Amino acid sequence: MHPRVLILQATGTNRDGDAAYAIELAGGTPVTLHVNQLRAHPELLQQFQMLLLPGGFSYGDALGAGRLLAADMRWLFQEPLAAFVAAGKPVLGICNGFQALVKSGWLPGPPDGALRATLTRNVSNRFECRWVRLDPNSSSPCVFTRGLTEPITCPVAHGEGRFVPRDETTLAELTAAGQVAVTYATAGGSPPTYPANPNGSTADIAGICNAEGTVFGLMPHPEDHVLPEQHPRWARGERGHLGLALFEQGVRYAAGL
Amino acid sequence: MSETFRVEVYWHGGVDGRVTDLLDQIAPLGIEGVKGARVSNLYFIRGDLASDDVERIAWALLTDPVVEGYLWTRVLDHATGAAADSVVEVGFHPGVTDPVATHLLRRARLLGIEGLQAVTTATRYQFDGDLSRADLDRLARELLCNTVIQSYTLGELQPAFVPDAAPSDAVDIVPIRDLTGDQLRALSTDRVLFLSLPEMQAIQSEFRAAGRDPTDIELEILAQTWSEHCLHKTFKAAIDFHREGGMPRVGPGAPAVTPNRETVPSLIGGYLRAATERLARPWVRSAFVDNAGIIDFDDTYEVSFKAETHNHPSALEPFGGANTGVGGVIRDIIGVSAKPIANTDVLCFGPLDLDADRVPGGSLHPRRIARGVVAGIEDYGNKMGIPTVSGAILYDEDYVANPLVYCGCVGIAPKGLHCNAPRPGDRIVALGGRTGRDGIHGATFSSAELTHDTGTTVGSVVQIGDPITEKAVLDAILQARDEGLYTAITDCGAGGFSSAVGEMGKDVGVDVELQHIPLKYPGLRPWEIWLSEAQERMVIAVPESNLARLAEICATYDVEWTVIGFFSGDGTLRIRYGGTIVADMPMDFVHEGWPRLTLSAVWTPPTVPDPQFPASLDLEAVLLRALAHPDVASKEDVIRRYDHEVQGATVVKPLVGLLDDGPSDAAVLRPLMTGGPRGLALGCGINPHYGQLDPYAMAWAAVDEALRNVVAVGADPERVALLDNFCWGNPALPDRLGGLVRAAQGCHDAALAYGTPFISGKDSLNNEFVDAQGVKRTIPPTLLISSLGMVDDVRTCVTMDLKQAGDAVYLVGETRAELGGSLLHRLFGGLSGTPPAPVPDAPESLRALHRAIGQSLVRAVHDLSEGGLAVAGAEMALAGHLGLALDLTAAPRGAISPSLGSNGVDTDTVLLFSESSARFLVEVAPEAGPAFEAVLAGQPCARVGTVTPDQRLRITGVEAAVLIDLPVELLAAAWRSTEVV
């Protein structure tokens, strides 16, 4: 009933608590383990119904955001992770977790070829923390956004969130396959120039999933908008567009496995 | 065979934000020839490496193939790098913290490459355009490289690695017993001890009695322990105080008659801690005794709060200075066994647009300091996952040589887990970062004045932080805390192990083996190991039976830990190197042997310049200038670089309003783990310009503003705790000390009037600078009061942005003719006049307003501070994107003479721009008006206006003349027009 969700923490991960809180609210049972604990017992992974890679600065983002955690995933957990994904279990990477999924090749996937995209320094060359609006793509196979009709508002907080596909073909393929699961948007529907698109991402891409829709990553932090008073304008009476919806979809999917 | 390779990782991903940013920074330097630039990362890797190894490292670890490519070459030893046109390469000095290098070494081993021995990183800048060598040299010195921690080459850099060195056991015996006074003074100077003659004589007699001379490490320990920075001698000294004028003390804490001459027993004991003791608030759990003050949050949790300064290091190396300042205050919170949940930062810089020729030799330009400081705060706070939610930035030419960087941190912990009583036999465990030669003499240096060449003589005091190491330590400590594994905890700050272990063991005694302390590189002398201020280190006392479990936790979180000694129980500070005793002193002497001082202080009202007003004031133009003044102007450009959302607790954010761009009075946090509606509000009060007139008035105003900040968002005025942080000049000068006494008296009297205890405080003295011409400059006396207030239910919080056209707007609190030190006077080149006076009965208004907020009778509240009513009204309008019509006729007021002195400022101008304390603007829905007025009955409060739908700020004066009628958009544009970083 309450799927067990592994929150995988590396040294420097810092939004693990926020993610665990969101999972719990969404009806899952979060369990936080450090990479070193999973490394000692890789078989533990299969006891979970969902994997969540939370935000932060794994290994200080030395050598680039998420790169060393990506190296861990490739060198330490490739096999158990492949089995986990092959079983159709959902994987969610947020911010630094998204960076690690992209830089290890799991997103957009497949993970065995050359990298098809990256997340690099914001065009502003700055870390920026601000609230954004995300539109879910109704034709995406993503199990976290499937069925969502409302936009999500939540903060971004990153310096390296600019999504760059390897080339035009890759972008066209991702778009055609519905792998662009969430995009930056404006309330009025006008094109999301800066700061609505806070980092200069190609095609306003905020998050993508793999072809199957089970592995999903995004730069913004839906886990920091799961309660009404987290909204920046709740004192003005604004409500709704909670990021919690993403977690509820993911947990529901995991519970049905 | 060991070789060095150079790997250059270049960019091919289209727009490179680094370049855009770089060109923006070059623009104000006036170097015309720069047409474009390219930035590459350089990695110098040394070891017994095959070409294939280098290729794999470059490909698998250093390059993002989608946007980057790489080139590598062998570096020939002793060759000078290839000359290249228009290239500057910048690398760190050997030994400067370089986490990228550390990670690379570790990862190469995981890749199976065993031969990698050393790594150093650098940056390459290649410029397009016609640039002379002199231009490039200027770019390097003024922008790309800080020679305190880096070096640069025009062309290719020759890498510098930490040289191999043998371990050192060198300990000097310092003959002291037969020295004369002059020789003792010379010894103190030569060894950079910064000890006074009476202190040197106290040491001399102690060792005469012991029948031997001290070792160098013993002298260093005493210099550190007795430094102003660690001991706060000035705040503990008795002071003969002579007051020659100034307002009398007021309020329930003030004496009936303010004496002109008195002997103050000590500033801490007589005023700051005294106020807390007299208030005896039951919710104060710990004040002035631990690494941070601690108060009750609810029945289950306690919160801790501490603020520090890191001024001198930030003057020399802004990024590293601010970075390690943040890291240090976070460790103070870890040091009370708490999880850090918020950072606060208050910064004082020189004007960013200052002409380069007004920057004294040896100082960095304010723009460079501001950028570096903000980047340093951003780096540490964001990486630790602690939201930076509250702060202020002030700009004044008096801060050019002495910028101020106040770093605060708030923590939360379940009650009953923090302990601080090591027992004999417990092991002394060092956790976290390794010890290097960084930060030697930080404690003593920060107790000295800067000079134009401080940067070169004590460059080693400045460090760069490694927040991820500290994050790992935090995770491990919280786990160890929850399992009850330690009996005492403290952080390594100024004075390093000497201070941390010396303090922790002061009632028990310690026995330490220096050889067990892990070093970054060999060659440190024993005293350097003990005094090093290397970052990210904590010390805990652990019973031997708990060591095995501690080892498991540390392995999980990648934390290095070492037993470096034990608590002996014999009351002695005993230190060994390889078994040989190198220091052996009674703890009593180390901690209590310093000669008590009696200082003298005098306070005379200063002479300050008068503002020069034109024949008639254009009030609209004045308001626009006030909004564009950097002290007032939008700080969004800074705030957005700090993560203020992590941990999910920020329910009132630093930016509020319709488009999230208005200046919030305070931030409110509701920590998720507490599970309830309760929150805490964070604010601050600071105004050095009042202090230039009378520090007593400044202290009252700062307490009042800090309190109003948090009450404005919904905190209970009966549940607010304060921190005091004094940044001052040289206390040996009686006029500087006189001002300090006045400020401490103001803190005491205000705290008692408002019922707000101080729970922690810190001072940074000697903020003076002697430039190359020998001219001494001091900062204005700068008192920061930080406030932490409890909010019973965060769902009752209000923000400062106007909400609804048609609402009534009330002014709470009396306006008096108090323009001394005001923004208005400063805009016209003066300071003179009456500073805001204490308002001892303000707490009644605060309580009434709080009741109104609790009953949901108000829609917006904003406190009045710099720029007074005019600026506050404009800010509420621009944040809400609504109009505001104000009529000054009904504004509650004290005595306002129609003509103020020689300045000829009229009543309207006073009502608009006076900075009287204890005032708020409040938006109230029409239907709530009667209830609001009933709750505020008996308080100075009157309706002064209406929220309008027309997007204009319209203010009419007491004679019904329209004083100001401006579109809100224009106000907002002025407010956003100013460069703040």
B222, pLDDT greater than 90:
yes
Q: Does B660 lie at the interface with A, CB-CB under 8 angstroms?
A: yes
Which residues from chain B sit within 8 angstroms of residue A117, using beta carbons? 66
Question: In which band, very low, low, confident or very high, does the pLDDT at B368 lie, cut at 50, 70 and 90?
Answer: very high
Q: Does B470 lie at the interface with A, CB-CB under 8 angstroms?
A: no
Query: Which pLDDT does position B769 carry in this prediction?
Result: 86
How large is the average pLDDT for residues B64-78?
90
Which residue on chain B is closest to A114 by alpha carbon? Answer: B65
**Whether B765 contacts B730, CB under 8 Å:** yes
Q: Which of residues 625-654 of B touch A (CB under 8 A)?
A: 640-648, 650-653
CA distance A83 to chain B (A): 23
**Among candidates B110, B111, B660 on the partner chain, residue whose Cβ is nearest the Cβ of A131:** B660
Q: Distance between CA atoms of B920 and B861, rounded to whole angstroms?
A: 7
**Among candidates A59, A120, A128 on the partner chain, residue whose Cβ is nearest the Cβ of B13:** A120
What's the distance, Cα to Cα, between the start and end of chain A in Å?
Answer: 10
Spatial CA neighbour of B714 closest among B669, B673, B681: B681
| B310 counts as catalytic | yes
Other residues' Cβ atoms within 10 Å of the Cβ of residue A91: 26
Query: Which pLDDT does position B455 carry in this prediction?
Result: 43
CA distance A257 to chain B (A): 30
Question: In which band, very low, low, confident or very high, does the pLDDT at A32 lie, cut at 50, 70 and 90?
Answer: very high
Spatial CA neighbour of A219 closest among A143, A151, A130, A148: A130
Which residue on chain B is closest to A33 by alpha carbon? Answer: B556
Which amino acid does the sequence have at A195?
P
Q: Does A196 lie at the interface with B, CB-CB under 8 angstroms?
A: no
pLDDT in tens, B505-545: 999 999 999 999 999 888 899 999 999 999 999 999 999 99
- Look up residue B428 and give its DSSP letter: E
Helical segments of B385-450, H only: 442-445
Per the CB < 8 Å rule, is A121 touching B16?
yes
CA distance B469 to chain A (A): 8
> Which residues, in sequence order, are CB contacts of B614 under 8 Å at separation 6+?
none
Q: Which of B12, B93, B310, B418 is catalytic?
A: B310
**Whether B663 contacts B683, CB under 8 Å:** no
**Among candidates A63, A164, A235 on the partner chain, residue whose Cβ is nearest the Cβ of B13:** A164
Q: Distance between CA atoms of A243 and A182, rounded to whole angstroms?
A: 12
**How far is residue A104 from each of residues B63, B261, B682, B733, measured CA to CA in Å?**
13, 73, 41, 62
Per the CB < 8 Å rule, is A18 touching B647?
yes
**Whether A32 contacts A16, CB under 8 Å:** yes
Per the CB < 8 Å rule, is A14 touching B656?
no
Spatial CA neighbour of A140 closest among A107, A109, A177, A172: A177
**Whether B709 contacts B787, CB under 8 Å:** yes
Query: Which pLDDT does position B413 carry in this prediction?
Result: 98
Query: Which pLDDT does position B665 carry in this prediction?
Result: 98
**Whether B26 contacts B34, CB under 8 Å:** yes
Which residue on chain A is closest to B637 by alpha carbon? Answer: A128
Query: Which pLDDT does position B162 carry in this prediction?
Result: 83
When scoring A77, A99, A125, A247 by the number of chain B Cβ atoms within 10 A, the one with the most, hence best to mutate, is A125
Query: Which pLDDT does position B96 carry in this prediction?
Result: 86
- Whole-number average pLDDT of chain A: 96
Which of B78-92, B104-118, B554-568 is predicted least confidently?
B78-92
Cis peptide leading into residue A110 (ω within 30°): yes
B905, pLDDT greater than 90:
no
Q: Does A168 lie at the interface with B, CB-CB under 8 angstroms?
A: no
Q: Does B267 lie at the interface with A, CB-CB under 8 angstroms?
A: no
**Among candidates B17, B102, B672 on the partner chain, residue whose Cβ is nearest the Cβ of A21:** B672
Query: Which pLDDT does position A184 carry in this prediction?
Result: 98
Supply angle C-alpha B589, B592, B594, rounded to 5.
90
Question: In which band, very low, low, confident or very high, does the pLDDT at B192 lie, cut at 50, 70 and 90?
Answer: confident
Chains A, B: CB contacts under 8 A, how many?
168
**Whether B128 contacts B36, CB under 8 Å:** yes
Other residues' Cβ atoms within 10 Å of the Cβ of residue B186: 13
Q: Distance between CA atoms of B129 and B150, rounded to whole angstroms?
A: 25
Query: Which pLDDT does position B877 carry in this prediction?
Result: 98
Query: Which pLDDT does position A1 carry in this prediction?
Result: 75
**How far is residue B327 from each of residues A153, B307, B471, B725, measured CA to CA in Å?**
32, 12, 10, 18
A39, pLDDT greater than 50:
yes
pLDDT in tens, B348-357: 999 999 999 9
B595, pLDDT greater than 60:
yes
Q: Which of residues 58-87 of A touch B (CB under 8 A)?
A: 59-64, 67-68, 71, 75
Query: Which pLDDT does position B445 carry in this prediction?
Result: 61
How large is the average pLDDT for residues B283-290?
95
**Whether B265 contacts B238, CB under 8 Å:** yes
Per the CB < 8 Å rule, is A125 touching B17?
yes
Q: Which of B12, B229, B312, B862 is catalytic?
A: B229
Per the CB < 8 Å rule, is B65 touching A18?
no
Question: In which band, very low, low, confident or very high, does the pLDDT at B448 lie, cut at 50, 70 and 90?
Answer: low
CA distance B345 to chain A (A): 17
Coil, strand, or helix at residue A198? coil
Supply angle C-alpha B137, B141, B142, rounded to 5.
115
CA distance B760 to chain A (A): 28
Coil, strand, or helix at residue B755? coil
CA neighbours within 13 Å on the CB side: how many for B615? Answer: 0
Which residue on chain A is closest to B856 by alpha carbon? Answer: A235
Q: In B823-854, which positions are buried (b, 16+ CB within 10 angstroms) versus exposed (e)?
A: bbbbbbebbbbbbbbbbbebbebbbbbbebbb
Q: Distance between CA atoms of B690 and B835, rounded to whole angstroms?
A: 6
Query: Which pLDDT does position B77 carry in this prediction?
Result: 67
**Whether A55 contacts A13, CB under 8 Å:** yes
Instruction: Return the residue matching tokens 């209830």.
Output: B931
B459, pLDDT greater than 50:
no
Spatial CA neighbour of B340 closest among B733, B690, B647, B652: B647
How large is the average pLDDT for residues B430-455?
71
Query: Which pLDDT does position B166 carry in this prediction?
Result: 87
Q: Does B112 lie at the interface with A, CB-CB under 8 angstroms?
A: no
Per the CB < 8 Å rule, is B66 touching A120?
yes
Q: Does A151 lie at the interface with B, CB-CB under 8 angstroms?
A: no
Q: Distance between CA atoms of B3 and B77, rounded to whole angstroms?
A: 8
The four Cα atoms B56, B61, B65, B69 give a dihedral, to 10 degrees, of -70
pLDDT in tens, A115-150: 999 999 999 999 999 999 999 999 999 999 999 999
Question: In which band, very low, low, confident or very high, does the pLDDT at B458 lie, cut at 50, 70 and 90?
Answer: very low
Q: Distance between CA atoms of B75 and B70, rounded to whole angstroms?
A: 16
B900, pLDDT greater than 80:
no
**Among candidates B466, B555, B803 on the partner chain, residue whose Cβ is nearest the Cβ of A236:** B803
Query: Which pLDDT does position B933 carry in this prediction?
Result: 98
B697, pLDDT greater than 70:
yes
> Which residues, in sequence order, are CB contacts of B731 under 8 Å at separation 6+?
B234, B599, B737, B740, B765, B766
pLDDT in tens, B936-981: 999 999 999 999 999 999 999 999 999 999 999 999 999 999 999 9
When scoring A18, A129, A247 by the number of chain B Cβ atoms within 10 A, the one with the most, hence best to mutate, is A129
Residues of A classed as catalytic: 95, 221, 223
Tokens representing residue A89 in the block: 């279990």
Helical segments of B266-310, H only: 267, 273-279
Which amino acid does the sequence have at A163?
F
- Whole-number average pLDDT of chain B: 94
How large is the average pLDDT for residues B441-461?
55
Q: Distance between CA atoms of B909 and B904, rounded to whole angstroms?
A: 10
Q: Does A188 lie at the interface with B, CB-CB under 8 angstroms?
A: no
**How far is residue A129 from each of residues A161, A202, B387, B645, B657, measured CA to CA in Å?**
12, 19, 10, 8, 16
CA neighbours within 13 Å on the CB side: how many for B940? Answer: 21
Instruction: Return the residue matching tokens 């204890």.
Output: B918
Query: Which pLDDT does position B901 carry in this prediction?
Result: 41
Which residue on chain A is closest to B21 by alpha carbon? Answer: A125
Per the CB < 8 Å rule, is B110 touching A131?
no
CA distance B434 to chain A (A): 17
Which residues from chain A sit within 8 angstroms of residue B18, using beta carbons? 121, 125
pLDDT in tens, B743-785: 999 999 999 999 999 999 999 999 998 877 787 888 999 999 9
When scoring A133, A158, A205, A229 by the number of chain B Cβ atoms within 10 A, the one with the most, hence best to mutate, is A229
B452, pLDDT greater than 80:
no
Percent of chain B with pLDDT over 70: 96
B685, pLDDT greater than 80:
yes
CB neighbour class for B528 (10 Å; exposed up to 12, middle 13-18, buried from 19): buried
Q: What are phi and psi of A194, to 5 degrees?
A: -60, 135
DSSP string, B675-741: -SS-EEEEEEE--HHHHHH-HHHHHHHHHHHHHHHHHHHT--GGGEEEEEEEE-S-TTSHHHHHHHH
